[in-house]
Every structure is written in structure tokens, then in C-alpha cells.
Amino acid sequence: MNPAMRQINIMSENPIEQVWLHLMKWESTTLAYKLIEERAQQSGLEHHSADSQQRLRNKARGVAYCLRNAREYLHEPGSSWSKRVLNGYYGLMALVGAVLIADPRSPYDLGKFEEATKMGHGLNNIDDPLLNFPEGQKIYITEDGLLVRYLSWLGLNPRKLAITGRVRELRSLTPEQCSQLISLDTLLASIVELGEFYQEVTGKTPLSTAARPSGVTPPLSAGWQGVQPDFKQDQPGQQGQVNLIRQQDGFLSTFQLLQPLSKNLSLTELVDAQGETLQGQNLYRSAMALPHYVQPLLESINDVLAMHYCLMYQLSILVRYRPSLWREISEGALDDYFALIKYYQGVFLRVVPQIALEKIGQVRLNIIAPGQSGN
């Protein structure tokens, strides 16, 4: 966790309600302004001049509007499953807008967010007729649009990931462009919380890797931290595991490597002092799953909110433009995937608002069940 982030403790048997209460307070432009001003101050940005204060007020109005819009879509998502999918996607777009606008360093206010959405979703879709569902349903990043702007805000270069122009036929694509297509199957396999359910439906292994502790030793002597390999450095290509000693609590846990160890890779590069990263990837902590190392989309997109955006876009395409396929899913031969999609909707409504809250407020949530002590 970033040391500058403050922690919010939530004690509840139904924490998503309190997550929404925290988001809803920023529907007040006054409180949204205080949040953005505080973030500007922490970032060292000038925020006292009349121009700066007007800019922050514009941002506050944008955050308040986007969060109100998101709540109207997501807090009561609708009765039919078609409506739930569509409301989920549009609510997620509003949350992404709030994330972009709340950053005092970004150029976004409500007007700039509207400009981004006018350029499109940042994604497009095409089906591969030679492949079955869900491998045959593909999406790809476009030249502009909301997702493209969000990826740029994350520090990525979407131009390297995008396919130029509208794809009419797969045979028109080069092999490199084909590698930039993302299937619905890949998206479902990438959502950490779907892991066991995805495997049950498809018979395939999920893409993200669980950081599974193999037991805990007694506390080690004070000041000792680092990594202990259970393989030799002079033997590259081993998949192996690595033992992490966490600085803050002194406990030892074993985690799997995502990739084989390369000969030139120093063990100190595998994890930071807190054991929070491995192979340069952040440890994703979910309210509905064990900690995982997330497998990036297109080898570079490891932001979980972006992954949900891609999946919700693809599901909304099925609902809006693939009625025969959506019927097979919702009441036909593909009803096992309907069970998976319904489970995903439950995951989405629980974890995505919390992800948005942590990004907008620059906070870390600590969820405590009543009767338990905090972490």
C-alpha cells in the first residue's frame, strides 16, 4: 500500500452498503471539492490561485455527477438480466469517469469526460466464425475512446495495443493484429473471483495466479527480511516457488512464480520489501477471493478496473447486438455460461465499487466482520 494512502475501516456484515455510502458522500460537490483539493495538496500541485480553484470546482461537479449516475445504474441494477448487464456497463463507464476526473493532475472535468465518450468506448468487436463460444467472440482496442483515455491515464501507450480502423473480416488482419484480439474466454478467465467457477464451466485453468501461502513459521528475528529461493539461481528456466518474508509482520509464506526464472534476474527484483509485488506485478486483493497476481491482458494491462471494463463491454455487445446468441446463453444450450455470467454480475457489483472508491479517494479499505479484529 502507498504510505500516503489512508485506511478506511469498514465493520459490517454487508460492507458494500458502506462502500456506497462513502462514494455517495462525493455526490456533494462541496465534499468532492475537499477531496480533490486534498489530493492536489498531497501531490504538490498549486491549488490556491483563482484559476486552480475554478479548475478544482469544475472537477468536483464532474465527480459528483458521475458518482450519482453510477449509483443510479448500479445500486439498483434492474430486474431482467439483459438490463442488469447494460446498467452494469454504463454504471462502470460513469465510475471510470469519476476516477479520471478526481485526479487533480489529470485534464479531465465533466466536459473532457464527455469528449472522451463521444470518441467511442475505446473498444470494438468482431466474431470468429471458425471458433465456438466464447473463444470466437473477440474485442480489440481502438484508436480513441474512453478505455483508450483511461489506459493513457494509467501510463500505458494504447497506440501499441490498438488496431487501426474498423475490422470487417479477420482475414484482413496481420498476425500481429490477430495477437491484439481479446476473446470473451480470455476475459472470463482473467477475472480473479471467477476462478473456480470458470474452471468448472470450461474445464480450463484460470489465467491469474493465486498467491497461496504454504504455511507460516513463527516470527523471525527483528530486522530480517528478503527472499529465500527454494531453487538455485544458476538453473534458469525453473518454474519453482519463492519464499517471501514480509517486513511488516515477519511471517514467511510461499508464492508461485508467474514465469520461469531467467538467468540474469536477481532475486531481489522478484519482490519488494513488503512482498507486495512479484515479477513487477501488483498483488490484487479482493473482497471475494484470495490474493492473486493478475495475468495482464495483451501483456501490459494489469489494471483490474480496465479488465472489468473490457468484459462488461463484451457482455453488453451480446445483449444489444447478438440476440440469437444471447438467447442461447440465457435460455438455451449455453446456459452453463449464463450461470457463470450471473455469478460474475454478483462479483462485479461487490468488487468494482470498492475498486473505484479506493482509486477516487486514494484510500485502502480494511473490511472487518463484526466480532473480529482488524488487519
What pLDDT, on a 0 to 100 scale, did the predictor assign at position 266? 36
How far is the CA of 270 from the CAs of 52, 167, 243, 253, in angstroms?
Answer: 41, 39, 11, 14
- Helix boundaries (H) for 191-333: 195-202, 304-321, 323-331
- Kindly state the DSSP code that residue 286 receives in the 8-state scheme: E
Q: pLDDT per position in the chain (375 positions), as tens?
A: 444 578 888 888 889 999 999 999 999 999 999 999 999 999 898 878 999 999 999 999 999 999 999 999 998 766 799 999 999 999 999 999 999 999 999 999 999 999 999 999 999 999 999 999 999 999 999 999 999 999 999 999 999 999 998 888 998 999 999 999 999 999 999 999 999 999 999 999 898 766 544 333 333 333 323 343 443 444 444 444 444 444 444 444 444 444 444 443 333 333 333 344 443 345 688 888 877 778 889 988 989 999 999 999 999 999 999 999 999 999 999 999 999 999 999 999 999 999 999 999 999 888 887 766 554
pLDDT value of position 282: 56
d(CA 266, CA 269): 5
Question: What is the pLDDT at residue 272?
Answer: 33
What Cα–Cα distance (Å) separates residue 168 from each residue in 128, 171, 179, 304? Answer: 11, 9, 16, 29
Neighbours of 369 (CB within 10 A): 11
Q: Identify the pLDDT of residue 340.
A: 98
CA gap 366, 363 in Å, rounded:
10
| Cβ atoms of residues 293 and 258 within 8 Å | yes
Calpha distance 191→308 (Å, rounded): 8
* pLDDT score of 371: 64
Which DSSP letter does residue 267 get? G
- What's the distance, Cα to Cα, between the start and end of the chain in Å? 13
pTM over 0.75: yes
- Chain mean position to CA 238: 29
Measured distance CA(66)–CA(53) in Å, rounded: 20
Give the ranges where the chain is alpha helix by DSSP (H): 15-25, 29-42, 50-74, 81-102, 110-118, 146-154, 175-178, 184-190, 195-202, 304-321, 323-331, 335-361
53: left (phi over 0), alpha (psi -120 to 50) or beta: alpha
